[in-house]
Amino acid sequence: MTNEIIHSILLIATIAVAFVFPKTNLASYDLEVGALLFIILFVGKRFLLPRSSQARLLESIIFTFIVLMVINTTGGIESSFFFLLYFLLFSLSLLLEPIISLTATITLVIFFLANLPANQGFKQIIPIISLAFLTPFAMFMGQEYTENKKSVKKFQKSKEEMFLFLSLMLKNHIKNIKEAVENFIGDHQLHEIKASAQKMEKLIEDFENTR
């Protein structure tokens, strides 16, 4: 399976658990659960999964659960912390793949609608609808971020290749100059030294112009 599918499945499962959590006896220990999750996140990013895609996935799962736990234990869609979901959707599109924000939004809308009390008016479901309108912006932002990362990696790779090329060329010209100096007997070697020096100077100028 692709990373998008795996990440989507894990986030859907996380959202489902976050909606079930307030209905269990563990809801009274929400602060302790949140603290434990932050410890797991710190240990995981610091020692187990430093600078890896798994670390970003762990961060996404933990923050998704904590945000939903806070919202669902303080009134659901009427919670004063509901706005945190907007930041969460943008964060997921940046930490993981842009499409994840769409998957998360659909799952959130389904679970919020399924947990709505009976006879709710349109005013009460406006926060849920707002999630759907926010998702395209989150996806666009995630796509732009992904493209920028690819551009930076491509530039770094080309720069490394240029450094390697210059290093090899300069070493070759220095070797030619050294041999010409060691075997110097007349104008022919002097011409080779001048030609190699000019080529080295040209390479350095070309490199400076590309920076």
Instruction: Give the model's pLDDT for residue 168.
Output: 65
Domain match, 88 and 189 both? no
Domain match, 26 and 108 both? yes
How much of the chain, in percent, has pLDDT values that exceed 70?
A: 66
Instruction: Give the model's pLDDT for residue 195.
Output: 67
pTM confidence score: 0.68
Task: Determine the structural domain holding residue 112 and report its residue range.
Answer: 3-151
Where b means 16+ CB within 10 Å and e means fewer, 143-154 reads: eeeeeeeeeeee
Q: Using the 8-state DSSP alphabet, how is residue 119 labeled?
A: S
| Per-residue pLDDT tens digits for 22-58 | 888 888 888 888 889 888 888 887 777 666 678 888 8
Least reliable range by pLDDT among 20-29, 92-101, 176-185:
176-185
**DSSP-based three-state secondary structure for 146:** helix
Domain match, 159 and 101 both? no
Distance from C-alpha of 49 to C-alpha of 41, rounded to nearest angstrom:
10
Domain match, 77 and 107 both? yes
Domain match, 117 and 138 both? yes
Domain match, 33 and 123 both? yes
Residue-averaged pLDDT of the chain: 77
Number of structural domains the chain divides into: 2
